[in-house]
Amino acid sequence: MYKIQEGYFIHFARVNKVYRKLCYQSVEEYHFTPNEIEVMMFLSNNPGMDSASDIAYYKNISKGLVAKSVESLYNKGFIKTEKDTKDRRLIHLILTEQSADVVKRLQSCKKEFIRQLQEGVTEEDLAAMDRATAIMNKNLDEMVKGVK
């Protein structure tokens, strides 16, 4: 049985680092901070997960830094906020029309990144990776329950 080596973690950290850098470069003329880009990428890639808490949790960014980025994007007109109808404490973050070009570029960057990353990888290999990561994600969910 193949055992996960330290290189596995380094590989995925590198994937994330290169992905973030390429996306940052795709919108550099807007002069966003890396965390502002993270916020917009998260909101565009994860419909339904649209709170500052979601971003902080899933991107492992401090709530303070997320709040600062959200405030900056709000002031620049790239996001708007909406209170939840059932829980007034919950604030949904919504990308505005002004963010459409940025989101389009970030989505194009993501698509091209994935295309290049998967170059030379067979459908069977991708399917096996999908199955393995789904199982590992389920295992992570169980581990998180014990950590909270």
What residues are paired with 27 via a beta bridge?
A: none
Which pLDDT score, from 0 to 100, does residue 22 have?
94
Domain that holds residue 17: 8-146
Domain contains 3: no
pLDDT digits (tens, 9 = 90+) for 26-54: 999 999 999 999 999 999 999 889 999 99
The CATH number for 74's domain is 1.10.10.10
CA separation (Å) from 109 to 26, 59, 103?
A: 7, 19, 10
The CB-side HSE value for 95 (13 A sphere, CA atoms) comes to 22
Q: What is the pTM of this model?
A: 0.80
- Tally of domains within the chain: 1
- Report the amino acid identity of residue 76: K
Contact 109, 23 (CB under 8 A): yes
